[in-house]
Amino acid sequence: MGGVANHATPEEIAVQAVEAGADLLLMPPDPETAIAAIEAAVHDRRLSQERIQQSVTRILAAKTKVCNPTPSPFWFDLAQPSALATVDAILQASQCQGGIGPVPPQKSDRGRNLLFLDNTLNQEFLGRYTPAVSLPQQLGYRPQLVDDHWPLNLDLTPPTLLQVFLRGSPFRGNLKLKEQTQRWLKELLQSKTLVGLIVYGDPYTLLWFQSHISPELPWAFTYGQMPQAQTLACRSLLDMSRFVNISDDIFL
């Protein structure tokens, strides 16, 4: 993956992955080299044969479960409270943020909630009542959806909360934004109207913004794009004391 490929040799990455608990090596650049590196690590006792056997046992168990002609409906377990709690715990632990907040409220919908997506025609995770839209709207930020399939020529004057939804690709290792989009975003940053930033999904996009925004601008990043991730990110940036007569259940 792009996140580790620049920090060690392919042989070392393969061995470290097994040391970290990985049972399978996904798409190494040279499979024969990866296999040879793991064999050498076992021979040198850096990896034990017992550690390899643990992976073999788990792989066989997974294959048996999938290939069972009458499998149990384990997918129904994914919607159980314990599974949802695990999702929330992962999102909370992996979210990061910075700058000086919270994002200020706006009067009479003066603000703009600019939602930048991979493709505005493909947005199952985003709707009128999802947190990334509904929560900022209650603070005076009206939603506007854009993507970089069309030239951006937007008004740079209203106070803007920018939310960027771009799926991270661990194999790409670089920025996905088009050059014309980067130029427009730089214009938005230079206009001094950006009041907050949330990046969903792609850590490379976050790194790009971090190299261009001021240290004071409040920002948040989460790997998820689903409503749970939107809720946590918005809550970390917005002034939640402004949300009156709203049950906390809406955020769970």
pLDDT at 140: 93
Cα dist from 190 to 44, 166, 212, 220, whole Å: 56, 22, 9, 20
Domain 96-251 CATH assignment equals 3.30.300.20: no
pLDDT (0 to 100) of residue 73: 58
Q: What's the pLDDT score for residue 247?
A: 44
pTM of the model: 0.72
Q: What whole-number distance in Å separates Cα of residue 101 and Cα of residue 215?
A: 11
Return d(Cα 93, Cα 210) in angstroms, integer.
20
- The pLDDT value recorded for residue 173 is 59
Exposed/middle/buried for residue 15 (C-beta within 10 Å: 0-12, 13-18, 19+): buried
The DSSP secondary structure of 54-70, one letter per residue, reads HHHHHHHHHHHHHH-SS
How far, rounded to the nearest angstrom, does the alpha carbon of residue 86 sit from its chain's CA centroid?
Answer: 16
Q: What is the pLDDT of residue 170?
A: 62
pLDDT tens-place values along the chain, 252 residues long? 767 777 899 999 999 999 999 999 988 888 999 999 999 999 999 999 999 999 999 999 988 887 765 655 555 566 788 888 999 999 999 999 999 989 989 987 789 999 999 888 777 888 889 999 999 999 999 999 998 777 677 888 999 999 999 887 666 556 778 888 888 889 999 988 999 999 999 888 999 999 999 999 999 999 999 999 999 999 999 987 765 544 444 444
Report the DSSP beta bridge partners of residue 220: 97, 198
Return the pLDDT at 250.
Answer: 43
DSSP 189: H
Residue type, 200: Y
Sign for the CA dihedral angle at 114, 117, 123, 126 comes to negative
Residues of the chain with CATH 3.40.50.10870: 96-251
